[in-house]
């Protein structure tokens, strides 16, 4: 470690931000393959949306000047225009055009009268337009004006972003590549599930949990499996993975004990920049590098591992992708008092619910069953992150929250 190692979460995040100086080099990717990636460029509109005036409803395109003082008009139906039609003749006075939603509005028309307000008799239509009725026309540029900056670098491409980019006609976008993360579980007691257990053995729950948390956060995951508490085996696995990955993550072997080799293993091929933070659960979390590849050391207890990844692992991935650290949290009111510690960050699990009186979203804190508990982790929607402080958090007071399970990538 160089100088004084971080002890608080705030200092650890600041260290990570400085440690990973630049994001991964961007790549240009076909839009069809870019879902879940992070933009590495601002997207400005190359065209207006809509591109042409079009009907917002099925009905009849008319001239408002043809509507009589009583709000009615009897007009001659001259044609039908459907969505996708290329040639659209101009509309003359006394004429009406039957039109479908999304079809181009003919020149001369300035209103669509919905078909429910129309009565057809032969080749004519009688229309009634009530006072204040909408024109039901989507105008050029009503949604997007050419030159507008629509998406900024650092934005994740989700379903809505895909729709917008496709509507602009983009074939490719410049994105951050998915960070390549190698994931390893350590411990003599671990067995892959399903299987049979001997006395003293447990199924490895951390690897499947962390793998899916990584995928949801936008990473490409390599499963390194499990390693026994053998320093040489652990070192060999990690060194091999460090050569072609952007981040290593291990769980287990990070607390104080005779089998906890990871701190010593890291120091043999790199640096352990910090180890143990003032937080509960997840105190025995570490960060450093092996052969210049960053490594995050997470505790073996499942809840502690999940908290460590949510608070630090996502920050590392964000830095690699050029995104703000730990974005996406919300401040929400808790529905019952919570105790906090004066000397450390306290993380509680919570479930979102709708307050019956205010109709606002609130957080119901779940019982703390210890850092090895899985039951409430499976029920939780958010992690409640309480900064150190004196006294209680009162019911109704806003607290910082982070989603337990995040995002759409993967």
Digit-coded pLDDT (tens) for 51-89: 999 999 999 999 999 999 999 999 999 999 999 999 999
Res 253: pLDDT: 78
> Is 1 part of a structural domain of the chain?
no
Say yes or no: 194 and 244 in one domain: yes
Say yes or no: 98 and 219 in one domain: no
Say yes or no: 306 and 374 in one domain: no
Instruction: Give the count of beta carbons closer than 10 Å to the beta carbon of residue 228.
Output: 12
Start-to-end CA span in the chain (Å): 35
Domain that holds residue 118: 54-138
Structure tokens at 243: 């050569």
Say yes or no: 82 and 204 in one domain: no
Res 229: pLDDT: 85
Backbone phi and psi for residue 33, each to the nearest 5 degrees, phi listed first: -105, 0
Say yes or no: 227 and 295 in one domain: yes
Say yes or no: 317 and 337 in one domain: no
Q: Would the pTM of this model clear 0.85, i.e. be above it? A: yes
Last residue of a domain, one of 321, 345, 366: 321
Query: Residue 119 maps to which CATH number?
Result: 2.170.190.11
Say yes or no: 300 and 223 in one domain: yes
Say yes or no: 302 and 254 in one domain: yes
Say yes or no: 378 and 261 in one domain: no
Query: Residue 378 maps to which CATH number?
Result: 2.40.340.10
Last residue of a domain, one of 82, 111, 138: 138
Q: Which residues of the chain have pLDDT under 70?
A: 1-3, 254-261, 326-328, 407-410
Say yes or no: 190 and 234 in one domain: yes
Say yes or no: 353 and 380 in one domain: yes
Res 3: pLDDT: 62
Question: Length of the chain in residues, anyone?
Answer: 410
Res 242: pLDDT: 97
Res 410: pLDDT: 47
Say yes or no: 170 and 211 in one domain: no
Query: Residue 280 maps to which CATH number?
Result: 3.40.980.10
Q: Are 401 and 384 in contact (CB under 8 A)?
A: yes
Structure tokens at 215: 């995928």
> Is 33 part of a structural domain of the chain?
no
**Of 288, 396, 211, 361, residue with least CA distance to 12:** 288
Number of domain units in the chain: 4
């Amino acid at each position: 470690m160089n100088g004084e190692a971080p002890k608080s979460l705030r200092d650890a995040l600041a260290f990570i931000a400085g440690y990973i100086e630049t994001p991964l080099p961007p790549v240009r990717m076909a839009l069809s393959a870019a879902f879940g990636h992070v933009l590495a460029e601002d997207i400005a509109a190359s065209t207006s949306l809509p591109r042409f005036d079009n009907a917002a409803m099925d009905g009849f395109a008319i001239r408002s000047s043809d509507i009589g003082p009583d709000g009615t008009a009897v007009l001659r139906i001259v044609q039908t225009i459907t969505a996708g039609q290329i040639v659209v003749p101009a509309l003359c006075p006394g004429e009406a055009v039957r039109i479908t939603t999304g079809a181009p509005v003919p020149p001369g028309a300035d209103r669509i009268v919905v078909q429910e307000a129309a009565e057809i008799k032969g080749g004519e239509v009688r229309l009634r337009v009530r006072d204040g009725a909408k024109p039901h026309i989507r105008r050029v540029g009503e949604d997007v004006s050419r030159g507008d900056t629509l998406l900024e670098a650092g934005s994740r491409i989700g379903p809505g972003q895909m729709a917008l980019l496709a509507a602009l006609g983009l074939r490719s976008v410049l994105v951050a590549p998915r960070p390549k993360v190698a994931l390893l579980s350590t411990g003599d007691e671990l067995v892959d599930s399903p299987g049979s257990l001997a006395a003293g053995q447990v199924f490895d729950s951390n690897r499947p949990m962390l793998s899916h948390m990584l995928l949801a956060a936008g990473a490409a995951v390599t499963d390194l499996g499990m390693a026994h508490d053998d320093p040489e085996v652990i070192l060999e696995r990690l060194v091999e993975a460090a050569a072609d990955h952007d981040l290593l993550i291990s769980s287990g072997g990070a607390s104080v004990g005779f089998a906890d080799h990871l701190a010593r293993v890291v120091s043999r091929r790199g640096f352990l920049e910090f180890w143990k933070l003032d937080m509960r659960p997840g105190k025995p979390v570490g960060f450093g590098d092996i052969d210049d590849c960053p490594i995050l050391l997470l505790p073996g207890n499942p809840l502690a591992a999940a908290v460590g990844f949510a608070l630090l692992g996502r920050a590392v991935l964000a830095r690699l992708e050029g995104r703000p650290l730990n974005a996406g949290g919300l401040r929400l009111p808790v529905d019952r008092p919570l105790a906090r510690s004066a000397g450390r960050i306290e993380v509680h699990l919570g479930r979102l619910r709708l307050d019956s009186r205010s109709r606002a979203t609130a957080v119901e804190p779940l019982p703390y069953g210890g850092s090895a508990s899985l039951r409430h982790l499976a029920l939780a929607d958010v992690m409640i992150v309480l900064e150190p402080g004196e006294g209680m958090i009162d019911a109704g007071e806003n607290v910082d929250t982070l989603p337990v399970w995040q995002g759409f990538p993967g």
